[in-house]
Amino acid sequence: MIVSGSVMALPQANLDTDQMYPGKYLSLITRNGLGRLLFEAFPRGRELLDQHPGASIFVTGENVGCGSSREHAVWALADWGIRAIIAPSFARIFHENCYSNGVVPVVLTDKAALDQCLAAKTLEVDVDNEVVRKDGREIARFELDPLRKDFILHGGFLEYMATKVDQVRAWRAHAASR
Q: Where are the domains of the chain?
A: 2-176
CATH code of domain 2-176: 3.20.19.10
Q: What is the pLDDT of residue 12?
A: 92
pLDDT one digit per residue (tens) for the chain, 178 residues: 999 999 999 999 999 999 999 888 787 777 777 888 899 889 898 999 999 989 999 999 999 999 887 899 999 999 999 999 999 999 999 999 999 999 999 999 999 999 999 999 999 999 999 999 999 999 999 999 999 999 999 998 988 989 988 888 889 888 888 8
Pairing of the two strands 2-10 and 57-60: parallel
Q: What is the pLDDT of residue 176?
A: 87
Please give the model's pTM, rounded to 2 decimal places.
Answer: 0.90
Radius of gyration for the chain, computed over Cα atoms and rounded to the nearest angstrom: 17
Contact at 8 Å (CB) between 71 and 97?
A: yes
Q: What is the pLDDT of residue 164?
A: 87
CA distance 96 to 173: 32
Question: For residue 59, what are the contacts with CB-CB under 8 A and spacing of at least 6?
Answer: 7, 8, 9, 10, 11, 85, 86, 87, 114, 117, 118, 120, 123
Q: What is the pLDDT of residue 143?
A: 97
Residues in the chain: 178
Q: What is the pLDDT of residue 174?
A: 86
Q: What is the pLDDT of residue 88?
A: 98
Q: How far is CA 86 from CA 26, 106, 123, in A?
A: 25, 5, 11
DSSP at 69: -
Q: What is the pLDDT of residue 90?
A: 97
Neighbours of 115 (CB within 10 A): 13
> Exposed (0-12), middle (13-18) or buried (19+): which is 98, by Cβ within 10 Å?
buried
Contact at 8 Å (CB) between 19 and 48?
A: no
> Exposed (0-12), middle (13-18) or buried (19+): which is 131, by Cβ within 10 Å?
middle
